[in-house]
């Protein structure tokens, strides 16, 4: 309970500061557009730019009442394919599947990188290079390539998410597998432990904290990958599809609503990884 309180207190302080700063930031961001709208002769139910800053149809930063209206409009009914919660659930599913795929590939690569220096020297530069390719450019090509083999719908987005997310898993896990010091490895040799026994009883347990730290980075990367994949490919559901549609419509209130949902989804996914970490490594729960 003490640990929970110590974790929640900083979050609450940041939340209170964000709420306190939101109103002045909103006015500052919208006063300029409001003044230009009034100068253009548009009919508004306000006389000054400051008063109109909370009533713009497409504000730079929505007023709290506008955000509330946006959430009501886009959140209900929850099971509607047009609602943000439904589309967030789809994107979350793509992200989790992408994380599973990325974890499998990343763990395999990590084991190979640790087991063979030659493999590491030959492969690691290409792994780094793979992460420098803009996902906006590669997502459509991957979707077309996968489509030629009948892979369509939900799975291509997950594969694109995995493409972004596997690298932190591979690097973090390989660092964890190398974390035991020379004294610990010498002790295993003293006990005549095989390489497999050393891996199972020493390297793998020592690598788990590194793995879950990498997974927290990877799940956020996978979420970004899923959204970008939905924007860059033909999609009928998902937060990326909603962002693309409302961006074309210049509906900034809807865009802010969807972005907030995306941020909350990211927090939830990282929280799920943290929960899995506490279950798998209970000896670290008090840290």
Cα gap 164→266, rounded to integer Å: 15
Tokens linked to 30? 């919208």
State the pLDDT at residue 17.
Answer: 87
Residue carrying structure tokens 């207190």: 9
What is the number of H-type helices and E-type strands within the chain? 12, 0
Q: Is the pLDDT of residue 246 over 70?
A: yes
Q: Between these two residues, 245 and 133, which has the higher pLDDT value?
A: 245
pLDDT bin (cut points 50, 70, 90) of residue 6 is: low
State the pLDDT at residue 102.
Answer: 95
84-284 placed in CATH 1.10.3720.10: yes
State the pLDDT at residue 259.
Answer: 94
Dihedral sign of CA atoms 222, 228, 231, 232 in order: negative
Cα gap 12→142, rounded to integer Å: 41
pLDDT bin (cut points 50, 70, 90) of residue 5 is: low
State the pLDDT at residue 287.
Answer: 56
Over range 29-43, report the average pLDDT.
83
State the pLDDT at residue 104.
Answer: 95
Residue carrying structure tokens 């991957």: 142
Over range 82-91, report the average pLDDT.
94
Q: For the chain, what are the domain ranges?
A: 2-61, 84-284
Q: Between these two residues, 8 and 259, which has the higher pLDDT value?
A: 259
Q: What are phi and psi of 98, to 5 degrees?
A: -60, -40
Measured CA to CA in angstroms, residue 192 lies from 185, 196, 197, 199, 203 at distances of 11, 11, 9, 13, 16
Asked if 84 and 257 count as a contact pair (C-beta separation under 8 A), the reply is yes
pLDDT bin (cut points 50, 70, 90) of residue 171 is: very high
What pTM value is reported for the model? 0.87
pLDDT bin (cut points 50, 70, 90) of residue 269 is: very high
Q: How far is CA 57 from the centre of its chain?
A: 30
Q: Is the pLDDT of residue 258 over 80?
A: yes
Residue carrying structure tokens 């020297």: 121
Dihedral sign of CA atoms 217, 222, 227, 233 in order: positive
Q: Between these two residues, 5 and 63, which has the higher pLDDT value?
A: 63
Residue 140's Cβ-side half-sphere holds a number of Cα atoms within 13 Å equal to: 6
Q: For the segment 11-23, what is each residue's pLDDT rounded down to a tens digit?
A: 788 888 888 888 8
Q: Between these two residues, 7 and 198, which has the higher pLDDT value?
A: 198
Asked if 139 and 229 count as a contact pair (C-beta separation under 8 A), the reply is yes
Tokens linked to 269? 């996914």
State the pLDDT at residue 9.
Answer: 76
In the chain, what is the straight-line distance between the N-terminal and C-terminal CA atoms, in Å?
13
State the pLDDT at residue 211.
Answer: 93
Closest CA to 250 of 33, 68, 101, 65: 33
Mean pLDDT of all residues belonging to the chain: 86
């Amino acid at each position: 309970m003490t640990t929970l309180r110590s974790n929640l207190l900083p979050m609450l302080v940041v939340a209170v500061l964000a709420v306190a700063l939101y109103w002045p930031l909103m006015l500052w961001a919208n006063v300029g557009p409001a003044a230009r709208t009034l100068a253009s002769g548009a009919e508004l139910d306000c006389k000054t730019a400051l008063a109109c800053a909370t009533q713009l149809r497409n504000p730079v930063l929505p007023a709290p009442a506008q955000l509330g209206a946006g959430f009501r409009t886009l959140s209900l009914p929850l099971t509607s394919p047009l609602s943000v919660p439904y589309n967030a659930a789809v994107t979350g599913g793509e992200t989790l599947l992408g994380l599973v795929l990325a974890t499998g590939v990343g763990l395999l690569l990590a084991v190979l990188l640790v087991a063979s220096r030659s493999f590491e020297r030959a492969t690691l530069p290409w792994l780094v290079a793979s992460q420098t390719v803009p996902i906006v450019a590669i997502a459509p090509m991957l979707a077309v390539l996968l489509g030629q083999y009948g892979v369509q719908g939900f799975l291509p987005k997950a594969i694109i998410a995995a493409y972004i997310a596997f690298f932190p898993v591979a690097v973090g896990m390989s660092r964890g597998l190398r974390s035991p010091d020379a004294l610990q490895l010498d002790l295993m040799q003293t006990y005549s432990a095989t390489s497999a026994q050393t891996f199972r009883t020493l390297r793998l347990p020592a690598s788990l904290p590194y793995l879950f730290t990498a997974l927290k980075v990877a799940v956020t990367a996978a979420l970004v990958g899923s959204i970008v994949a939905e924007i860059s490919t033909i999609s009928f559901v998902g937060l990326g599809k909603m962002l693309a549609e409302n961006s074309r419509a210049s509906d900034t209130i809807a865009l802010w609503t969807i972005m907030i949902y995306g941020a909350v989804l990211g927090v939830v996914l990282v929280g799920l990884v943290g929960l899995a970490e506490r279950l798998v490594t209970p000896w670290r729960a008090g840290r």
